[in-house]
Amino acid sequence: MYYIGYDIGSSSVKVAIVDAKTGTSLITLNEPTNEMEIVAPQQNWAEQDPNMWWDYICKATKRAIKEGNIDASKIEAIGISYQMHGLVVVDDEGEPLRNSIIWCDSRAVEIGNKAFKALGEEKCMGNLLNSPGNFTASKLKWVRDNEPEVYAKIHKYMLPGDFIALKLTGKTNTTKNGLSEGMLWDYKTDTVANWLLEYYDIDTNLTPKIVENFSNQSTVNKSGANATGLPEGIPVTYRAGDQPNNALSLNVFNHGEVAATGGTSGVVYAVTKQNKSKEPLRINHFAHVNYSKKHPNLGKLLNINGAGIQYRWLKDNLASNSYEAMNAKAEVVPVGSEGVSVLPFGNGAERMFNNKIIGTHFCNLNLNTHSEGHLCRAALEGIAFSFVYGMDILKADNAEIKVIRAGNDNLFRSEILSNSVATLIGHEIEIYNTTGAVGAARAAGLTDGDFKKFGDNITANDHVMTYKPLGNKASYEKAYQNWKTQLETFLNK
């Protein structure tokens, strides 16, 4: 028997099929093989056609069944992971009324800022644990104000994963987790934040029915089965945004456990039981996948825009022109890069600096003594130091860090980066060989709520290695302090 999982990103749709008993991944693939289109009607806007996601879900499912030689009749359940914060609006036939306004679209920033001031920091932070910000609720307000003809036809609004579940099953529903991503969950009352919708003059009846995670949320209907090749009647039992799902994939469920991702941007996602925050802008809070009123586990998320994109830029512009060659040159340079520092923040405004644009800077270069290897090591150290800086912000905001877990498919594969972070934070970094689609597929079978057994299986199947804090901490601390001195120069300009 099998479980199937989907991970709907903004670049592609990934699918994985796993053995239901062991959790072993049998096949993973993505559609399309290049990248999905992102439409930008105006500067700082970003949209995608929800039916494009569905088309690629159908193609990827059929490919996975065929190429994995899977007996589709033995697929028992479906898990869905998806890009967070997106807005999908549908009519009463379940058809999208416009493109989805996706996570990286900035059109609703001022709407959220105005709401935060009008409603008050005490109300927003006490009940939402966030500013309304540029999230789903504010994007829906933008549609109401700017596209009244679209708003008038809305039957329900939803998150991207809710839309895929709708296409599979014909049922419209959502989860507490999803609503929390849109700043639509009131943690004090444990209900939908209808007061925010009412402030935005949005009909509260547009919120879908709420279903529990890790339960039979709805079942594949005839239309969904015909389109995908899946058996009719199998349940969707799990859905979550990509960062909470990444944490699940890495066995991050409990207070003090942290999931780290070092891709184009960096993410630190710390699970906590502390339902308070003094950081309305730099940190976001979401109901974790195992959130309930009895067990109010939250995910504190800190994003670093300038991370892997910095190292990729170096690869594209240095003579080495490969990560392997760059890493080899970096490894022969001592800790601290002999004084060279790189601030990797050249990917727009940084939320952890209160949306200030810092830019990328190469500091203290000596043209007589420094080489390409110094640039490579300083870049990796700079990215590592930005993670440490972000974790310090999290710790100052009631997060506890006991262990860090990361995937084996991103920057944390670098010994320089992982050793730097582990040594400065003083905690181990466990590396796992897994993906979001595999995690979603495994989570489809987690209806018994046994998170410990689920996590033990991840450790047994996926653990690759562990980076431990090194003994020579002094050299790392000196390099980090030098880096922070350079950073403060630009922050104070």
For range 189-197, the mean pLDDT: 97
354 lies in the same domain as 231? no
For range 476-487, the mean pLDDT: 97
Backbone phi, psi, residue 273, to 5°: -100, -5
Residue 107 has pLDDT above 90, yes or no: yes
Mean pLDDT score of the chain, rounded to an integer?
94
Residue 164 has pLDDT above 80, yes or no: yes
In a domain, 222, yes or no: yes
- Residue 116 belongs to domain spanning: 2-244
Confidence band for 219, pLDDT divided at 50, 70 and 90: very high
User: Does the pTM exceed 0.75?
Assistant: yes
In a domain, 418, yes or no: yes
In a domain, 440, yes or no: no
For range 311-330, the mean pLDDT: 89
231 lies in the same domain as 263? no
Q: Which of 244, 272, 289 marks a domain boundary?
A: 244
89 lies in the same domain as 116? yes
pLDDT of residue 493: 81
278 lies in the same domain as 401? yes
In a domain, 438, yes or no: no
297 lies in the same domain as 388? yes
In a domain, 262, yes or no: yes
pLDDT of residue 440: 97
Residue 141's CATH number: 3.30.420.40
Q: How many structural domains comprise the chain? A: 2
Q: Which of 227, 244, 261 marks a domain boundary?
A: 244
Whether the CB-CB separation of 397 and 277 falls below 8 Å is answered with: yes
257 lies in the same domain as 404? yes
Matching residue, tokens 């700079």: 382
189 lies in the same domain as 277? no
276 lies in the same domain as 222? no
262 lies in the same domain as 347? yes
Whether the CB-CB separation of 105 and 47 falls below 8 Å is answered with: yes
In a domain, 133, yes or no: yes
60 lies in the same domain as 193? yes
Residue 325 has pLDDT above 80, yes or no: yes
277 lies in the same domain as 157? no
According to DSSP, the residues that pair with 448 across neighbouring strands are none
